[in-house]
Structures are given as structure tokens and as C-alpha cells.
């Protein structure tokens, strides 16, 4: 593939940013089609509507409705807020990091009052604290609890089932709104089972799409809330969109090319064995990354080596299967490692927001990855640690490949081919 950059980088750069992610060739090719009339019945019945069914399978809903936008994830954030809330309503943002902060800022700019449940961003929210906070809101002023499922800036995934239980235990009627932009199709998410009312979803992360499509999945309870919502809205107005039969989305032209790409992405998911098989692969690949980073940090010892890399997330039960944030001590070291890595053929994410800017690198392992791509990333990062003079125990990559070997052998024992 020709590089779109002026600087020639021989070989194929391994893209390990946590969004956008790698786009599989077959998805790129699927969208290389001539323009069509977007009201064409063949397109509607054979491309568009099957995509909606596929998205419902990915978010695991049968009761929910899907509303799409030609926008990035920010558009879906906005759609969920403006369709469900009114001027002066109060919401609770559960702090997680840069993205939860940004969602809160958007809400304030839209005229919504925002309370923040502060957390230690290296572990994420304690459901018991959420429960106690909601129990004190006896007047039920909080209209929605907003949670980022997987905080892309920290690599912490919060347990949504426990958060649902905390809301129920407080007997609180607030809507449960969840940002799944970096967890969809990469980390277990169950809209109906976990009683999520508004799901915010993006295309260019786990769904492997070119950037520009996002959507919301809306529960019957949330749909009822759209009746009383008075915040100004137009392009994102679901009650307007639903009248556009049969597409029920988009105030203007339907971005048909995105649907050819989406149909292929959904086909790839099914061809791998369905969304659960995709989640299992993400878990396996992520676990290899973690074993590697842990080895860099402490080798076979218990104590962390001074100045060595460390997983940012401090709760082992909340490690993210879509992105690993790695703390690298030393002024300027993360940026140096990131720059060396790109020169060696691996694109990484850096720190973003007040908690992680300048302090971490982020390995995105969501979307279209396999052992080969992940081992390539880890090998290059270990090389970069050497070049940048970051103290570490050598041989982290060996830990990852040993783990992948064990996993494959176990799968073979279970009747799968190697």
C-alpha cells in the first residue's frame, strides 16, 4: 500500500493507536463503490437494514432502537444528551479521565448542570460510593448517570453490571448512559441485560471503520424521556429522525459508503465466530501485552524497578482489553519512546488530559489485531525502551509469546485448530 505521507517508511507501519484503529483491507475495499441513490431499495434492504440488525447484535439489544449520525463519537455523546435532557437538568458524570471530563464539559456547554463523582482515575469508580451518592439524592434531581465504560486515556474498564446494581440499590430512577466508544466489539457489553438506557457508540475504534460514523442505542425508558426533553436539537433529533422511514436516522444524506464498510465490518465479526469470539481474542491479546509490560517493570521480582514502565491501571480486575496505558517515569521519556517507535514502524498513542499527558504511552490493541501485530508492537516498544535508556527488565516480549503459545495449545486441546 502506498504511504499517504511524504516521508517514506519502508514496510507496513503497525498502527497501535487506540483510535482510530487499523482498517482491514477488506473494509477499505468494501467502501470503494460508485455512488448510489441512498433511497435505492436494494441498498436499504441488503446493506442498510442488515447493518442495523448487526449493530443490535454487537450492543446486545433486542428492545433498543439505533440512531446513527454522520459524526464521530462526540456527535453520539451530544445526541444522547440533547434528546434525553432539558435545560437546567442535572446529570452525574462518573469520573474516569480525559473522556469523562470532556463529556461533562459538553453537557455544561449545552446548559445541563453537571455533578462529578470524583474517583482515583488509576482504579475508576467505586460502585458503593455511587450508591451512597445517589441515595442522598432523595428528590431525584439527578436525571442521568453518565459512565465511560472503557476510559481510553487510562486503560481502566469499569464494571457496568455493578454500577447498574448500585443505581438499583439506591432505588434511583436516573437514566443510565454509557459511552462504549472504545469498548464496543472489544470488551464485554450487554445493553439489555445491564439495563443501559443510552449507549454512545463510535465507528473508528472496535468497529474498524473509517472515521465519521457514530450511533446511539436507546432503551424504551430513554425513548419515553425524549417526549419531555426540551434542549434545542436539530440534526441529532431522534423524534425527527424516526419519521424518516425506513432509515430512521440522518437528517440529511445517508453516508452510504460508510454502510458498505460497516456491512463488511459486521461480516468480519460474524466470520470470526460472532462478537463473543472477537471479545475473547481481545482478552487474549491484551493479556499478552500486560504480561510483557509487567515483566519490563518488575521481571520475576515483586518490587517495581526504579524508572521502569508500569501499567497505569492499578486494579487488576479492571485492566482494559482494548488499550494498555503504560506509565514511563522520567521527563520526556514517553514522548521519546513514542517517536522512536514510529521511526521503527509502530504508531502508538500518547497521554491525553491532565492525568496522563506526557506521562504515558498507550498501546491500542482493539480492532483488527492478531498475535503477529501485537508481538510486533511489543518488540518495537522494547527496542525503543533500550534506545531511550528507560530502565526495564529485558525479555517482556518473551512473556507475551509464551502466553500466546500456552493459549493456542489450550485451544487445540479444546478441539480448535492451531
Label residue 354 exposed, middle or buried (CB < 10 Å: 0-12, 13-18, 19+).
exposed
Stretch in the footprint of ligand PLP (CB under 6 A) among 108-116, 165-173, 177-185, 345-353: 177-185
Residue 190, annotated as binding a ligand:
no
Q: Among residues 13, 26, 74, 294, which is the contact residue for ligand PLP, using CB under 6 A? A: 74
With the CA atoms of 114, 81, 186 and 311 taken in that order, what torsion angle do they form, in degrees rounded to the nearest 10? -20
Stretch in the footprint of ligand PLP (CB under 6 A) among 157-165, 178-186, 263-271, 379-387: 178-186
Q: Among residues 55, 181, 258, 289, which is the contact residue for ligand PLP, using CB under 6 A? A: 181
Extract the C-alpha cell encoding 380. Answer: 518495537
> By CB under 6 A, what part of segment 102-121 binds ligand PLP?
none
Check: CB of residue 342 under 8 Å from CB of residue 361: no
Does 99 contact ligand PLP by CB under 6 A?
yes
Q: What is the DSSP letter of 304?
A: P
Does 72 contact ligand PLP by CB under 6 A?
yes
Does 256 contact ligand PLP by CB under 6 A?
no
Rounded to 5 degrees, what angle do the CA atoms 101, 103, 108 make? 95
Does 19 contact ligand PLP by CB under 6 A?
yes
Among the listed residues 187, 185, 216, 182, the one whose alpha carbon sits nearest the alpha carbon of residue 200: 216
Q: What is the DSSP letter of 341?
A: H
Tell me phi and psi for residue 144, to 5 degrees.
-150, 145
Nearer to ligand PLP, 170 or 326 (CB): 326
Q: Among residues 23, 48, 55, 73, which is the contact residue for ligand PLP, using CB under 6 A? A: 73
Does 398 contact ligand PLP by CB under 6 A?
no
Minimal distance in Å, beta carbon 311 to ligand PLP?
A: 18
Count, residues near ligand PLP per rule CB under 6 A: 11
Q: State how far the alpha carbon of 88 is from the alpha carbons of 95, 105, 110, 147, 234, in Å.
A: 21, 14, 9, 20, 19
Which residues are near ligand PLP by CB under 6 A?
Answer: 19, 72-74, 99, 148, 152, 179, 181-182, 202
Amino acid at each position: 500500500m502506498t504511504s499517504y505521507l511524504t516521508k517514506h517508511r519502508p514496510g507496513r507501519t503497525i498502527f497501535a493507536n487506540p483510535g482510530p484503529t487499523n482498517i482491514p483491507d477488506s473494509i477499505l475495499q468494501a467502501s470503494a463503490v460508485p455512488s448510489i441513490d441512498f433511497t435505492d431499495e436494494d441498498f436499504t434492504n441488503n446493506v442498510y437494514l442488515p447493518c442495523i440488525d448487526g449493530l443490535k447484535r454487537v450492543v446486545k439489544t433486542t428492545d433498543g432502537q439505533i440512531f446513527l449520525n454522520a459524526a464521530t463519537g462526540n456527535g453520539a455523546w451530544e445526541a444522547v444528551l440533547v434528546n434525553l435532557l432539558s435545560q437546567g437538568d442535572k446529570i452525574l458524570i462518573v469520573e474516569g479521565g480525559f473522556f469523562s471530563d470532556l463529556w461533562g464539559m459538553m453537557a455544561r456547554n449545552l446548559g445541563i448542570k453537571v455533578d462529578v463523582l470524583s474517583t482515583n482515575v488509576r482504579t475508576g469508580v467505586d460502585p458503593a460510593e455511587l450508591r451512597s451518592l445517589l441515595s442522598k439524592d432523595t428528590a431525584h434531581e439527578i436525571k442521568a448517570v453518565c459512565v465511560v465504560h472503557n476510559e481510553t486515556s487510562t486503560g481502566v474498564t469499569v464494571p457496568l453490571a455493578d454500577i447498574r446494581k448500585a443505581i438499583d440499590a439506591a432505588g434511583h430512577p436516573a437514566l443510565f448512559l454509557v459511552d462504549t466508544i472504545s469498548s464496543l466489539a472489544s470488551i464485554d457489553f450487554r445493553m439489555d441485560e445491564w439495563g443501559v438506557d443510552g449507549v454512545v457508540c463510535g465507528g473508528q475504534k472496535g468497529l474498524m471503520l473509517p472515521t465519521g460514523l457514530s450511533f446511539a442505542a436507546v432503551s424504551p425508558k430513554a425513548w419515553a424521556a425524549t417526549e419531555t426533553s426540551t434542549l434545542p436539537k436539530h440534526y441529532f433529533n431522534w423524534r425527527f429522525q424516526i419519521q424518516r422511514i425506513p432509515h430512521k436516522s440522518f437528517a440529511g444524506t445517508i453516508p452510504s459508503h460508510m454502510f458498505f464498510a460497516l456491512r463488511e465490518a459486521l461480516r468480519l465479526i460474524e466470520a470470526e465466530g460472532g462478537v463473543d469470539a472477537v471479545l475473547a481474542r481481545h482478552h487474549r491479546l491484551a493479556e499478552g501485552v500486560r504480561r510483557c509490560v509487567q515483566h519490563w517493570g518488575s521481571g520475576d521480582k515483586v518490587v517495581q524497578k526504579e524508572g521502569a514502565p508500569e501499567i497505569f491501571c492499578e486494579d487488576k480486575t479492571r485492566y482494559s482489553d482494548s488499550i494498555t496505558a503504560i506509565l514511563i517515569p522520567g521527563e520526556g521519556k514517553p514522548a521519546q519512546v513514542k517517536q522512536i517507535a514510529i521511526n521503527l514502524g509502530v504508531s502508538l498513542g500518547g497521554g491525553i488530559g491532565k492525568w496522563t499527558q506526557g506521562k504515558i504511552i498507550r498501546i491500542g490493541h482493539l480492532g483488527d489485531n492478531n498475535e503477529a501485530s501485537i508481538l510486533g508492537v511489543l518488540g518495537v516498544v522494547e527496542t525503543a525502551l533500550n534506545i531511550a535508556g528507560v530502565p526495564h527488565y529485558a525479555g517482556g516480549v518473551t512473556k507475551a509469546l509464551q502466553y500466546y503459545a500456552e493459549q493456542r495449545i489450550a485451544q487445540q486441546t479444546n478441539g480448535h485448530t492451531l
